[in-house]
Structure 1
Amino acid sequence: MRTLLDYLEAGDSLEVFLDHFPSVSREQAIAVLELAKEMLAAYANPA
């Protein structure tokens, strides 16, 4: 199954992902992206 990040990596928009997964809210998708951003920042700048 493709994930939100797979869709974005392929060049699809958030709207395309949400159209394919109507059970996911925009707020949920944004929360996932924010978490991924935090994880990448922590990985790039370890304490």
Structure 2
Amino acid sequence: MKNGKNPTRRQKAAIKAAGFNPDNWLVFMKYGSELHIIHRNTGTTKIIDI
């Protein structure tokens, strides 16, 4: 799995709109209209639509 990167401003807004705290999540893949995010501490992955 690739290393996560800090989300951009637009990605932070999408993460927040999905109900997550953007400070706790990293973006490890952007595929089409999906963001694949990974939690900083637990390693849990989620897929959200932009």
For the pair shown, the structure with the greater C-alpha radius of gyration is 1
Whichever structure has more strand as a proportion of its residues is 2
- Give me the TM-score of the superposition, normalised by structure 2: 0.26
Instruction: Indicate the structure whose relative CO is greater, using CA pairs within 8 Å and at least 6 residues apart.
Output: 2
- Give me the TM-score of the superposition, normalised by structure 1: 0.27
Whichever structure has more helix as a proportion of its residues is 1
